[in-house]
Amino acid sequence: MEMRIVALGVLVLLSGCASSRFSAPGAALEASLSLETSAGEFRIDYDHEDARDAARIRQAVTEALPRLERWGALREPVTIKVMPDHASLEAAVRQHGYSWLRAWSRYDDVFVQAPASWAPAGATQPQINELLLHELTHSVMYQQASDRRDWSRKQIPLWFREGMASFTAEQAYRWVSLEEIARHYERSPTSDPVNNPGDLYRDDSNFIYGVAHHTFAFLVKRYGEGSVRGLLREMKGGKEFPQAFESAIGLSPEAFVRDFTRYVRWRGFSGGRVQPRAPAPSN
């Protein structure tokens, strides 16, 4: 696996979403502000010295609403916790060694590293907007698919979780292209980065987020956004992801991933697989 050098602008906008093993300790933050919107209710908790960042995050929530609501509204309020720096974020979400991590989402709360600490010059408002749209998509997905008790047991794969969030936030420009994924398959024919991202999630997040984005985009292109909403409804009705996917899409997740893998390997995105050059005619 080739290590990629990822630009700082990419690093500051990566995030994660919690697994069933995640259990964050309470973060004692000093102040809060509330926001009621058409998509649901939000509370932003922060330390007084991060008041400016909290206001910028509130603006980002407002900016996110039009694209967030395509998947439905929040069923329960979401608390956004502004952590003063990267170390406090890692401690709060109990995820260590991910230097690129800037936020972490669950069913009804989102932990965000204070944007002023993302880089020496801080973060721009568009960067904050993009990150919050990505994160809140996770919460909407979980709440549309389940309840507080069972959201982490739905077996939602990483490609769907991160792909849906990246697709909603229009982040394809940040990740690897379909051509780069096709070349990865050529170099590593037995690799399965969709179903088994493995250590690539830690070591080459740019690649795994790109795989997730393009897999989800392929799902929407082939079956439409309505099928995604239908899949969430099937999970809300009690099914786990594999069964809900088959009910809503009409084939198993495994069959879908095989379709996507063939599409990439054969370069369907460029009009078909590149054919070998024909031999020159002999005289």
Predicted confidence (pLDDT) per residue in 201-210, tens digit: 667 889 999 9
Higher pLDDT, 24 or 79: 79
The pLDDT of residue 112 is above 80: yes
Q: What DSSP letter does each residue of 182-200 carry, written as one string?
A: HHHHHH-TT--TTT--TTH
Top mean pLDDT of 94-98, 122-126, 278-282 is at 122-126
* pLDDT confidence of residue 12: 42
Token pair, residue 58, equals 């509130």
Give the pLDDT of residue 197.
87
The Cα–Cα gap between 17 and 158 comes to 9
Looking at residue 99, the DSSP 8-state letter turns out to be T
So what's the pLDDT on residue 17? Answer: 61
Residue-level pLDDT at 182:
97
User: Is a pLDDT exceeding 80 seen at residue 7?
Assistant: no
147 close to 108: Cβ distance less than 8 angstroms: no
pLDDT surpasses 60 at 96: yes
The average confidence (pLDDT) of the chain is: 88
Token pair for 198: 């493995």
Select from 3.20.20, 2.30.30, 3.30.530, 3.40.30 the CATH code of 1-148.
Answer: 3.40.30
pLDDT of 198 strictly over 90: no
> Nearest-CA neighbor of 42 among 72, 75, 77?
77
pLDDT tens, 151-185? Answer: 999 999 999 999 999 999 999 999 999 999 999 99
The ranges assigned to domains in the chain are 1-148, 154-270
Q: Is the pLDDT of residue 252 over 80?
A: yes
pLDDT level of residue 98 (50, 70, 90 thresholds): confident
pLDDT digits (tens, 9 = 90+) for 12-25: 455 666 544 344 44
Is residue 47 within 8 A of residue 30, CB to CB? The reply is yes
Contact yes or no for 200/165 (Cβ under 8 A): no
pTM: 0.86
Return d(Cα 185, Cα 111) in angstroms, integer. 35
Task: Return the closest-CA partner of residue 216 out of 175, 272, 183, 184.
Answer: 175
pLDDT mean over 243-267:
97
Looking at per-residue pLDDT, the higher value among 11 and 120 belongs to: 120
Confidence label for 99 from pLDDT (cuts 50, 70 and 90)? confident
Q: Give the pLDDT confidence of 256-275 residue by residue, as tens digits.
A: 999 999 999 999 998 644 33
